[in-house]
Amino acid sequence: MKAYIFPGQGAQFVGMGKDLYESSETAKSWFEKANEILGFRITDIMFGGTEEELKQTNVTQPAIFLHAVILAEIAEEFEPQMVAGHSLGEFSALVAAKALSFEDGLRLVATRAFAMQKACEANPSTMAAVLGLEDEAVEKICAEVSASGQVVVAANYNCQGQLVISGSFEGVAQAGEKLKAAGAKRVLPLQVGGAFHSPLMKPAEVELAAAIKSTHFNAPVCPIYQNVSAKAFTNPDQIKENLIAQLTAPVRWTQSVQNMIADGATHFIESGPGKVLQGLVKKINKDAEVSSI
Which is nearest to 204 in space by CA: 115, 88, 106, 111?
Answer: 115
Within 8 A by CB and 6+ apart from 205, the residues are 244, 245, 247, 248
Query: Which phi-psi region, left, alpha or beta, contains residue 161 (left: φ > 0; alpha: ψ -120 to 50)?
Result: left
Residue 87 is a catalytic residue:
yes
Per-position DSSP letters for 35-70, written without gaps between them = HHHHTS-HHHHHHH--HHHHTSHHHHHHHHHHHHHH
Q: CB–CB of 85/93 below 8 Å?
A: yes
Annotated catalytic residue, options 86, 197, 198, 271: 197
Within 8 A by CB and 6+ apart from 1, the residues are 81, 82, 263, 264, 265, 266, 267
Within 8 A by CB and 6+ apart from 38, the residues are 62, 106, 110
Annotated catalytic residue, options 67, 86, 87, 166: 87
Helices assigned H by DSSP within 75-196: 89-96, 102-122, 135-147, 169-181
Handedness of CA 243, 8, 101, 3 (dihedral sign): negative
Separation CA 21–CA 18 (nearest Å): 5
Residue 292 is a catalytic residue:
no
Within 8 A by CB and 6+ apart from 144, the residues are 178
Pairing of strands 2-6, 267-270: parallel
Instruction: Report, as residue numbers or ranges, the catalytic residues.
Output: 87, 197
